[in-house]
Amino acid sequence: MEGKLYVLSGPSGAGKGTVCKQLLAQNPDIVLSVSMTTRQPREGEIDGISYFFTDKQTFLSIKEQNGFLECAQHFDNHYGTPKAFVEQNLQQGKDVLLEIEPVGALQVKEKMPQSVLIFLNVPSKEVLLERLKGRGSETEETIKKRMAKAEVELGQIGLYDHVVVNDLVDNAVRQIESIMGRK
């Protein structure tokens, strides 16, 4: 039996990475799809685990060969999901979790209608702003850009199969596990 592809997406600062880490720790049989990016690693990120970090030329070459399930450009950086990795794991009967931005999530749904889209939302815009500032890695200008982008992304909630509000990480993880039929 083929596995299912679950796409977790939402605005920058919604807590996608934190929720994914806990979900995967509690469900080690779920395969996390690692995206490729041209952006520089943040502190603590590891190549091949957090992302496949690459240069722009290599990324564009893979894109040209239709090697991505989805790809997008965010704030002068490119992101993409290597297609072969996802398809191979699904064919082996494994559930795959993809953590990406909304632009990419909608591309995946278009190419793979059987995928399950989950929008991870924040309790309020104020909470989102606090989380972005709390990262300590964002400039004021970047925070403003991310907040404006979040407004657009929030307008796309209706295109998702499920919406989970990340008020507390444990609650969000439980809801996602329920969606996945795990608990």
Average pLDDT over residues 109-130: 88
Q: Are strands 5-9 and 96-100 parallel, antiparallel or unpaired?
A: parallel
Q: What is the pLDDT of residues 57-89, one digit of tens each?
A: 999 999 999 999 999 887 789 989 999 889 999
b/e map 106-135, b = 16+ CB within 10 Å = bbbbeebeebbbbbbbbeeeebbbebbeee
pLDDT the model gives residue 32: 94
Q: State the CATH number of the domain containing residue 83.
A: 3.40.50.300
Q: 3-class SS at 147?
A: helix
Q: Domain of 137?
A: 5-179
State how far the Cα of 28 lies from the Cα of 55, in Å rounded to an integer. Answer: 31
Note the pTM of the prediction, 2 decimals: 0.83
CB 146 within 8 A of CB 132: yes
pLDDT the model gives residue 117: 98
pLDDT score of 180 more than 80: yes
What is the CA 108 to chain-centroid distance, rounded?
11
pLDDT the model gives residue 5: 97
Q: CA separation (Å) from 178 to 75, 79, 175?
A: 34, 29, 5
State how far the Cα of 143 lies from the Cα of 139, in Å rounded to an integer. Answer: 6
Domain count of the fold of the chain: 1
pLDDT score of 135 more than 90: no
Average pLDDT over residues 128-146: 78
b/e map 153-170, b = 16+ CB within 10 Å = bbeeeeebeeebbbeeee
- Centre a 10 Å sphere on the Cβ of residue 49 and count the other Cβ atoms it contains: 9
pLDDT the model gives residue 26: 97
DSSP 86-108: HHHHHHTT--EEEEE-HHHHHHH
pLDDT the model gives residue 175: 97
CB 89 within 8 A of CB 3: yes
pLDDT the model gives residue 73: 86
pLDDT score of 128 more than 80: no
pLDDT the model gives residue 125: 80
